[in-house]
Amino acid sequence: MIIKTEALTKHYQVGSEKVEALKGITFSVERGEFISIMGPSGSGKTTLMNIIGCLDTPTNGTYFLNNKPVSELTDDELAHIRNDEIGFVFQSFHLLARNSALENVMLPLKYAGENKKNAIIRSNEALDKVGLSDRSSHSPSELSGGQQQRVAIARALVNKPSILFADEPTGNLDSKTGEDVMNLFKELNDNGQTIILITHEDSIAQQSKRIITIMDGLIKSDIKE
Amino acid sequence: MLVEESIRSAISSIKTNGVRSFLTALAIIIGTAAVISVIGIGSSAEKALEASIDDLGPRTLSIFPSQRKRGGIASGFNPLVIKDAEALAKNNEHNWLIAPAMSGNRQIKYKNSNMNGEINGYLPVNFEVRGFDIGSGRLFTEKENLGRKRVIILGSKVPGELKTSAREILNKDILIAGTSYTVIGVLKEEGSTGWQNPDDDLYVPLLTAAQRIFGTDRLGWINVGISNDTNVDYVMMTIEQILRQKHDIGPGGENDFRINDWSQFSDLRRQATGIFTALIAGIAGISLIVGGIGVMNIMLVSVTERTREIGLRKALGATQKSIMMQFIIEAVLLCILGGLLGIFIGVSLLYLFTSLNDWIFYMPLSAVFGSITFCALVGLFFGIWPAKRAAKLDPAVSLRYE
């Protein structure tokens, strides 16, 4: 089991008001799954992704990633886990504008302490995997939206993560390139990559193999194909 | 590779915001330029002083006439005279060189050229004490001095003043107050000592000067050349003893002359220069601190602007330490670049100043490295807080920062 959560809760203090973003989430993910987490805005799906993506810690509850308890780790320990185990793909790509595609893909390897030679080899492999080996020296502004998102996917894959998180990955793309990106995800999943997709679009969610719907901080439904 | 990445990121950030970076570093640039030029001018002044002390020969004491006091009240002026110098020269207890001199300005004429020049009455030994070398021709002799001969030696710049050359004027006559003197030698260029320039002066035998030019046996000063291993206090005591006797000063009476030890004087002057330099450099250094605050300010802006980038880097696995390093390196680099530019400007100013004033250009390397180190420390100190703020950013929040 890659992910196992037990009664995850998350409380925020907004001014004098206490917001319960998650009210007790229990679920697990097996290796090789392709999951969509759905829900309207304000449902808590982003908070859930932050916690299982190790960007945030839960208020209560336990979370095991690869059988390691991560709910009470320090900031830097979480950073190492994010570097090792998790690859992120964001709606707005989040590429560094002043760096080339290759340098963007290399970034996680730099934080992993990989030497430069290996980092370049591995980054080129990752770019090859998303079909952009001929664009490695281009800067993000010289690439189309779909190409930028594929660079971001290469960056997410370069450290061979246990899980690939994608937060609305097609949100900034037209339907044709969005479809290309989804096809890439399916292909990666067919090769064994575990993928968790956060989306509010039904048509996107339908392409995954399991759909978890979140509503008001709780799991409303968990449907496997 | 992380350090390399941090440096690359810092360079590209500084380059992207070129104008802003420059304005931020401006206080650092000005501060460093000020510190460097002030220290440089102070050091060059010290070098010039050392050179002028060296010019005085191995070690020189100077005796000057001064006011005679009786019971604290000035009671006339008792001059140093040639006989005083002779009395000193007669003493063979010390291995010293007694170099009496008198000087005054006179009009000098050669062909159709006129100049006003300082004429010095010297003994041959004076040239030795001052370390002057003859460039062409010869020095005058003791015999010419005793014979009150009308011979003259010119400072290296005098022939030019008289619109001629050393070669041409040698063995010719020049007129001083209507009397002709034969030029027997021209000195090598000696260089300014700071308070006088021997190259502009003219030199005649002391007795010639006393009798034919100034009409007095009053001396301007007596230089005493001593070797470096001499007991100066003892020499000064002997001088005092001889002169008090000559001037008939009883016990308890004050000296009517004073003795300067130039090396002591130069120590004092060096100290004063050093204190002054340190003071101004310190004030200029404050502007580096002010500059540091500017850097801190802009780094805080930069952290805010790059919140999303920081969030992304943290999401990809950057630890607090690596984010901190990135921003500290940026602040330090900004300060070092400012410092380098400041050094360039400071050294240029120093070069300009020294060449305009005909000084020796001297810039101590320790000051250059010192100011770069100081700039780096300023960047480090004022970079820490913004960097810490960046490192502490919550990745989940900063990724979605608009």
Q: What is the ipTM of this complex?
A: 0.92
Interface membership of A73 toward B (CB under 8 Å): no
Say if residues B106 and B203 touch (Cβ distance below 8 Å). Answer: no
In terms of residues, how long is chain B?
A: 402
Is B56's pLDDT higher than 70? no
Mean pLDDT value of segment A13-21 = 86
DSSP class of A135: G
- Computed over every residue of chain A, the mean pLDDT equals 89
CB proximity A130 to B under 8 Å: no
pLDDT digits (tens, 9 = 90+) for A194-216: 999 998 888 888 888 999 999 99
Q: Is the pLDDT of residue B304 over 70?
A: yes
B401–chain A nearest CA distance, Å: 12
Rounded (10°) angle between helices B320-357 and B2-16: 60
Packing angle between helix B365-391 and helix B262-305, nearest 10 degrees?
A: 20
- Nearest CB among A76, A83, A98 relative to B12 is that of A98
- pLDDT at position B180: 93
C-alpha distances (whole Å) from B163 to each of B169, B182, B237 are 10, 17, 48
In this structure, what token pair is assigned to residue B147? 């014979």
Instruction: Dig out the tokens for A111 from the structure.
Output: 């934080």
Restricting to B residues 296-355, those with a Cβ less than 8 Å away from any Cβ of A are 308-309, 312-322
C-alpha distances out from residue B359 to A70, B16, B43, B48, Å: 71, 42, 11, 7
Six-digit token string for A82:
């994010």
The reported pLDDT for the residue numbered B182 is 94
Residue A192, burial from CB neighbour count under 10 angstroms (0-12, 13-18, 19+):
exposed
Of A90, A108, A119, the CB nearest to B317: A108
- Residue B53: which pLDDT band, with cuts at 50, 70 and 90? low
What pLDDT score was predicted for residue B201? 92
Instruction: Report CA torsion sign: B74, B79, B85, B90.
Output: negative
Q: Do the Cβ atoms of A82 and B317 come within 8 Å? A: yes
The answer to whether residue A28 scores a pLDDT higher than 80 is yes
**How far is residue A96's CA from residue A131's CA, in Å, rounded to a whole number?**
20
Q: Residue A46: closest CA among chain B residues belongs to which residue?
A: B396
Lowest mean pLDDT across A38-47, B39-48, B196-205: B39-48
Q: Which two tokens stand for residue B85?
A: 């110098």
Distance CA B350, CA B135 (A): 32
**Who among A79, A98, A116 is closest to B318 (CB)?**
A79
Is B201 part of the contact surface with chain A (CB cutoff 8 Å)? no
Interface with chain A: mutation pick from B312, B316, B393, highest number of A CBs within 10 Å: B316
Rounded distance, CA B85 to CA B262, Å?
19
Does position A3 have pLDDT exceeding 70, yes or no? yes
Distance from CA of B338 to the nearest CA of A (A): 23
Mean pLDDT, residues A2-26: 89
pLDDT of residue B18: 85
Count contacts between A and B (CB, < 8 Å): 65
Q: Do B317 and A56 touch (CB under 8 A)?
A: no
Is the per-residue pLDDT at B318 higher than 70? yes
pLDDT band at B70 (very low <50, low <70, confident <90, very high): low
Q: Compute CA distances A66 → A29, A63, B80, B271, whole Å.
A: 10, 10, 103, 72
d(CA B105, CA B91): 32
* HSE (side-chain half, CA atoms, 13 Å) at A149: 24
- For residue B262, pLDDT beyond 90: no
pLDDT: which is higher, B302 or B360: B302
**Mean pLDDT confidence for B351-362:** 84
For chain B, helix (H) and strand (E) counts, in that order, are 14, 12
User: Domain map of chain B by residue range?
Assistant: 2-52+267-399, 60-265
DSSP E strands, B30-189: 60-65, 67-70, 73-77, 97-110, 113-122, 134-137, 151-154, 173-176, 179-187
Judge whether residue B118 has pLDDT over 80: yes
Band of the pLDDT at B175, cuts 50, 70, 90? very high
Q: What is the pLDDT of residue B359?
A: 79
| Predicted local confidence at residue B386, as pLDDT | 94
In percent, how much of chain B has pLDDT > 70? 93
Nearest CA in chain B to A47: B396
Candidates A194, A191, A197, A192; CA nearest to A211 is A197
Q: Average pLDDT over chain B, rounded to whole?
A: 87
Choose among B1, B312, B318: nearest Cβ to A94.
Answer: B312
Q: Is A90 on the interface with B (CB under 8 A)?
A: yes
Nearest alpha-carbon partner for A90 in B302, B307, B304, B308: B308
Cα separation values, A209 from A195, A204, A205, B191, Å: 10, 11, 9, 94
Q: Is the separation of the CB atoms in B118 and B202 below 8 Å?
A: yes
Please give the backbone phi and psi of residue B148, each rounded to the nearest 5 degrees, phi first: 50, 40
Asked if A111's CB is within 8 angstroms of B313's CB, the reply is yes
| Cβ separation A83–B316 shorter than 8 A | yes
pLDDT above 90 (res A92)? no
Reading the block at residue A220, the tokens are 């409303």
Cβ atoms of A105 and A151 within 8 Å: the answer is yes
Distance in Å, alpha carbon of B319 to nearest chain A alpha carbon:
5
Distance CA B294, CA B288 (A): 10
Question: Cβ of A83 and B317 within 8 Å?
Answer: yes
Cα Dmax for chain B = 103
- Percentage of chain B modeled with pLDDT above 90: 43
Pairing of strands A17-29, A3-14: antiparallel
CA distance A222 to chain B (A): 25
Percent of chain A past pLDDT 90, that is, above it, reads 30
**Two tokens, residue A37:** 């987490």
d(CA B122, CA B130): 11
Is B261 near chain A, with CB under 8 Å? no
Domain that holds residue A177: 3-224
Q: What is the CATH number of the domain that holds A134?
A: 3.40.50.300
pLDDT at B71 over 70: no
Number of separate domains in chain A = 1
And the tokens for B261? 């030890």
Question: What is the C-alpha to C-alpha distance for residues B100 and B117, in angstroms, rounded to an integer?
Answer: 19
A168 has a chain B CB within 8 A of its CB: no
Both structure tokens of B223: 């230089």
CB contact under 8 A, A55 and B395: yes
Nearest to B319 among A76, A107, A114 (CB): A76
CA trace torsion A128, A134, A139, A144 (10° rounding): -90
- B270: which 2 tokens? 């060096």
A50 contacts on B by Cβ (under 8 Å): 396
Nearest neighbour of A96 by CB, restricted to B309, B321, B322: B309
A80 touches chain B (CB under 8 A): yes
Of A209 and B6, the structure prediction assigns the larger pLDDT to A209
**Spatial distance between the Cα atoms of B210 and B342, rounded to a whole number of angstroms:** 56
B248 backbone φψ class: left, alpha, beta (φ>0; ψ -120 to 50): left
Region of B177 (left: φ > 0; alpha: ψ -120 to 50; beta: rest) is: left
pLDDT tens column, B179-238: 999 999 999 988 766 567 889 999 999 999 999 999 999 999 999 988 777 788 888 889
Predicted confidence band at B382 (pLDDT cuts at 50, 70, 90)? very high
Is-contact B261 B63, C-beta < 8 A?
A: no
Q: For residue B388, which residues of chain A lie inside 8 Å, CB to CB? A: none
**Type and span of the H or E element at A10:** strand A3-14
Confidence bin at B29 (pLDDT 50/70/90) = very high
In terms of Cα–Cα distance, which of B64, B152, B147 is closest to B108?
B152
User: Looking at this protein, which amino acid is placed at residue A211?
Assistant: I
Q: Does A12 touch chain B (CB under 8 A)?
A: no
- Tokens encoding B320: 């607090």
* Lowest mean pLDDT segment, chosen from A15-19, A70-74, A102-106: A70-74
